[in-house]
Amino acid sequence: MRIFGFNIYRYAAPQEFHPLAGRIARWCAVAAAALLMAGLYLAFFVAPTDFQQGEAYRIIFVHVPAAWMSMLIYLVMAGWAAVGLALNARLSFMMARALAPTGAMFTFLALVTGAFWGKPMWGAWWVWDARLTSELILLFLYIGFIALHAAIEDARRADRAAAVFALVGAVNVPVIYFSVKWWNTLHQGASISLTKAPAMAAVMLWGMLLMVLAFWAYSIAVALWRLRCLITEREREMDWMNVAKEEA
C-alpha cells in the first residue's frame, strides 16, 4: 500500500522501522523541549495569580496534562495491543511495550502533583477523590502490564498475554471510573472533588495546551527511543534472521 509514494507496509518490519523511529524521535524531542519551555513560562510567569488558591494552583499545569496523557497513552497502548493481536505483528506488540513505562510515569506524576495540589487545600497528602483514585488504579493496570510481560520468558507469549491484559484493562477503565464515582457519592453525600480548577482565563488554557503538546511530543520521542532498544534487543537474538538474509 503506498501513501505519498512510501510503501508503508515496509515499515512493519522492525529493522526497517528502526532508522525511521530514530529520525522521528529526534524531531519530537526538540519539539518537546521547546513546547515545555513555552508552557512552563506561561504557567509560572504569565498566568495570573488566583485570588482563592494563591500560587499553589499553578501545579494544575502539570497535573491535568499528566492525567490526560496517562489515559491517552493507555488507550494508544491498548490500540497497538489490539492491532498486534489482530494482525500478528511483532512491531505492534513492541510499541505497546515501549509505551507502558511512559504511561506509568505520567500516572505517577499525576498522582504526586495531585497530592501536592491537595495538601494546601485539604491539609492531607491524599484525598480519596474519584479522579485520583481512578488514577491510582490506572497505575496498577500499567504496573500489571509491565510485570506480566517481564514474568513470561517466551517473548511471543509475553507479548500476546500482556496485549490481552491491556485490552481487558482498557475495557474495564470506564467501569472502574464509574464505580469509583458511585462510591464517592455513596460515602460522602455530595461528591468530593479535588479543588476545582479556577475559572479559566484564556492564557491558562493556552498554557495547558502547550503543556499537553509538550508531554505528547515527549512521549512519542521516549517511546520511539525505547522501541529502538527493544528492536535491537530482539532482532539481535534472532540469529536465524541473519541466515535468512544470507539465503535471500
Partner 1 sequence: MPDILRWLLWRDVQLVLRQHADVLSMLFFFVITTSLFPLAVGADPKMLHTIGPGVVWVAALLSTMLSLGRLFHADYQDGSLEQLLLSPVPLTMAVAVKIFAYWLTTGLPLVFLAPVLGMMFGMADQELWVMTWSLLLGTPVLNLIGAVGAALTLGVRGGSVLLAVLILPLYVPVLIFGAGSVVAVAGGQSAQGGISLLAALLVLTVVFAPVAVAACLRIALE
Partner 2 sequence: MIEASHLTCVRGSRRLFHALSFSLQPGELLHVQGPNGSGKTSLFRILAGLAVPHAGKVLWQGRPIADQREEYAAGMLYLGHQPAVKDALGVMENLQVSCRLGGIEATLASLKQALDAVGLSACARLPARVLSQGQRRRLALARLWLGERPLWLLDEPYTALDAKATQMLEQRIMQHQSAGGMVILTSHQAPGLPMRALELGQ
Q: Which residues bind partner 1 (CB under 8 A)?
A: 137, 140-141, 143-144, 147-148, 151-152, 156-157, 160-161, 164-165, 168-169, 171-172, 175-176, 178-180, 182-183, 186-187
HSE, side-chain direction, 13 A CA sphere, residue 217: 18
Rg (CA), the chain: 21
Q: Is 246 in the site for partner 2 (CB under 8 A)?
A: no
Question: CA 53 to CA 45: how far, in whole Å?
Answer: 16
Nearer to partner 2, 196 or 236 (CB): 236
- Shortest distance, CB of residue 90 to partner 2, whole angstroms? 11
Residue length of the chain: 248
Task: Give the angle subtended at the CA of 105 by the CAs of 104 and 106, to the nearest 5°.
Answer: 95
Question: CA 58 to CA 65: how far, in whole Å?
Answer: 12
Nearer to partner 2, 46 or 238 (CB): 238
**Count of residues binding partner 2 (CB under 8 A)?**
7
Nearer to partner 2, 55 or 237 (CB): 237
- Shortest distance, CB of residue 147 to partner 2, whole angstroms? 21
Q: Is 155 in the site for partner 2 (CB under 8 A)?
A: yes
- Shortest distance, CB of residue 25 to partner 1, whole angstroms? 31
Out of partner 2, partner 1, none, which partner does residue 238 contact, by CB within 5 to 8 A per kind?
partner 2
Q: Is 238 in the site for partner 2 (CB under 8 A)?
A: yes
| Side chain identity at residue 192, one-letter code | I
Fill in the DSSP letter of residue 126: -
Question: CA 40 to CA 146: how far, in whole Å?
Answer: 31
List the one residue from 12, 41, 229, 237 that touches partner 2 (CB under 8 A). Answer: 237
Q: Is 240 in the site for partner 2 (CB under 8 A)?
A: yes
Report how far Cα 42 is from the mean position of its chain's Cα atoms.
Answer: 23
- Shortest distance, CB of residue 135 to partner 1, whole angstroms? 12
User: Which parts of the chain fold into alpha helices (H)?
Assistant: 14-41, 60-87, 90-122, 130-151, 155-188, 202-237, 239-247
Which parts of this chain interact with partner 2 (CB under 8 A)? 154-155, 237-240, 243
